[in-house]
Structure 1
Amino acid sequence: MDRRDNQGRLAIVAGSGRLPLYVAEAARGRDDEPYIFAIKGESTTDWSAFDHTDLGIGDIAGLKRISAEKQIGRIVLSGGVRVRPAWNEIRLNLGTIWRLPKLMRTLMHGGDNLVLTTAIGLLEGDGRRVIGAQDIAPGLVAELGPLGQHAPDRQAEADIRISIEAARLLGELDIGQGVIAVGGRVVALEGPEGTDSMIGRINELRTRERISATRPGVLVKLCKPSQDIRVDLPSAGLSTIRNAHEAGLSGIALEAGRSLLLDRQDVIDFADSHGMFVTGIDPDAYGAAR
């Protein structure tokens, strides 16, 4: 059954990384043929096998026009966006031009969650609604518990606990989703540079003897407390586990049911072969760090 019959055609706004392709392939596997809006300067995927167009990051008017032509009813926002649109890149139609001043303030001063929530407000309407990547590709969602042969040991559990507290505070400020703790101490917080760059700082800290060279540490990623779970769920993939291993971390903990694990089997195989854990956690199940 073609799912566009009663919900409208699916569109994927594709940023950087492999997530948009995974979502597109999952949609096609459900007989839900997607239309791809590939963001110029962000998406590097070859979309030639899909109905698609390249679109400027701020071209809301163009997206709405094409959505009407293609009878788009559902939109998934997926993939990374490194640079926010400049004021002269924003294209709004007459129905939304009045929002421009507020939009510019949000782009200049708002955190990522506020920006994405604002984007949802601009895209929805006229029969369109934004849905989550997990609604199309539920197999990407991290489940509760260890996902491979290894589980966190006592020290890793302590690092996870303190990282959860830090991640929640970080999320309340709408800054990032990832935290690294080593030996019971938070040593890195994710900012605009992203998870892989944050992990990369750990090697430098170890080299400078700012953190222990023998205690492994963990990476924890959680949703922000006020996050709209339709967009920007915490995610990890093969590059994440490889970088974590290079940084001497013992594993990765993702919020179960509210985060995405890409390259799942490759990640599990790598973790198993290098003695690392990948686990889904319920943050509320962890007590306060002592």
Structure 2
Amino acid sequence: MSGEGATRPLAIICGGGAFPLEVARAAAATGASPFLVGLVGASDPGVEAFPHVWLHLGQVGKLFAELAARGIAEVALVGALTRPEFADLRFDWGALKRAPELAKAFRGGDNRLLSGIAAVFEGEGFKVVGAHEIAPQLVASLGALGARVAPASAEMDIQTGAATIAALSPFDAGQGVVVAEGRILAIEAAEGTDAMLARVAEMRASRRLKMTGPAGVFVKAPKRGQDLRLDMPAIGPRTIAAAIEAQLLGIAVVAGSVLIAERESTLRAADAAGLFITGFVP
């Protein structure tokens, strides 16, 4: 976001965690005026440090009214959010008027859902922007990101992981995979990154995976054709903690296509644990 866009008000629809707040601070530093939309039961209470409103999922009409009242033209969807069931949403009248569009978006994987939600915003005249456009300094660069360098022996696992995510892209599956010595140990699906890495940790603890010492690489990459404005892959301190529990060698992310939340603390934790974090090109 630059030029004229940097001076206009910006709405950030906040998922869970501290990452939406980090993006909001980055937006403010560029001269933008972030307005945060907190989702009840999901967003961090820190949204209240900014101009904000709290909404329940399904209050679409109230959301658009709040944005219109503030002259907001740009919207970003930032942070993790547990996918709700369509029947559980608390629709207001504005949502009911758009129910056919919303129901269609829910028929499929997360990418289809997010694309459908973006289409609803765009249909109302909003421009949807990505976290990487607001805070490009959070995007992973090429090569070693921390103090540890990925060993040459990890290259095959990194490329195997990237190829696996690309091959699964038509099925709108997850954005992560764990590979050790060419063997796929886990693939991220609806459970998300943390739960997938916890499965690896449990398999190692129970000796279902009989490996000695640190082994394996967690590869994080966008799905082929994924709209990075809506769901750019990200890692953060929780990812590092989960990778440590899973006794991995390191983490590989696609340079230019993965965000690093809380970058300083993330890299510091990885360095302390002896984990490498590297940006690569598939």
Q: Same fold (TM over 0.5)?
A: yes
Query: What code does the residue aligned with 2:30 have?
Result: R
Residues in 2 aligned to 1:85 and 1:25: alpha-carbon distance in whole angstroms: 31
- Return the structure number with greater helix share: 2
Residue equivalent to 1:132: 130
Q: CA deviation at 1:17?
A: 1.2
Contact 1:222 1:234 in 2 (8 A): yes
Residue equivalent to 1:13: 13
Contact 2:237 2:261 in 1 (8 A): yes
Contact 1:253 1:280 in 2 (8 A): yes
Among 177, 188, 194, the residue aligned to 2:175: 177
Q: How does 1:240-255 map to 2 (within 5 A)?
A: 240-255=239-254
Q: CA deviation at 1:93?
A: 3.2
Q: What percent identity do the matched residue pairs reach?
A: 37
Residue equivalent to 1:221: 220
Residues in 1 aligned to 2:168 and 2:225: alpha-carbon distance in whole angstroms: 12
Contact 2:104 2:116 in 1 (8 A): no
Do the aligned partners of residues 177 and 5 (structure 1) sit closer, same or farther apart at CA in structure 2, a change above 3 Å counting?
closer
Query: TM-score if structure 2 supplies the norm length?
Result: 0.92
Do the aligned partners of residues 197 and 5 (structure 1) sit closer, same or farther apart at CA in structure 2, a change above 3 Å counting?
closer
Q: CA deviation at 1:68?
A: 0.8
Matched, 1:65 2:65: yes
Residues in 1 aligned to 2:281 and 2:218: alpha-carbon distance in whole angstroms: 15
Residue equivalent to 1:41: 41
Contact 1:148 1:278 in 2 (8 A): yes
Do the aligned partners of residues 92 and 250 (structure 1) sit closer, same or farther apart at CA in structure 2, a change above 3 Å counting?
farther
SS of residue in 2 equivalent to 1:34: strand
Q: CA deviation at 1:188?
A: 0.4
Do the aligned partners of residues 90 and 169 (structure 1) sit closer, same or farther apart at CA in structure 2, a change above 3 Å counting?
farther
Do the aligned partners of residues 83 and 41 (structure 1) sit closer, same or farther apart at CA in structure 2, a change above 3 Å counting?
farther
Query: TM-score if structure 1 supplies the norm length?
Result: 0.89
Q: How does 1:183-198 map to 2 (within 5 A)?
A: 183-198=181-196
Structure 2: which 5+ residue stretches go unaligned? none
Q: CA deviation at 1:83?
A: 3.1
Contact 2:19 2:79 in 1 (8 A): yes
SS of residue in 1 equivalent to 2:230: coil
Query: What code does the residue aligned with 1:150 have?
Result: R
Q: CA deviation at 1:100?
A: 2.3
Do the aligned partners of residues 268 and 46 (structure 1) sit closer, same or farther apart at CA in structure 2, a change above 3 Å counting?
closer
Contact 2:73 2:125 in 1 (8 A): yes
Residues in 1 aligned to 2:133 and 2:232: alpha-carbon distance in whole angstroms: 12
Residues in 1 aligned to 2:5 and 2:201: alpha-carbon distance in whole angstroms: 52
Structure 1: which 5+ residue stretches go unaligned? 284-290
SS of residue in 2 equivalent to 1:231: helix
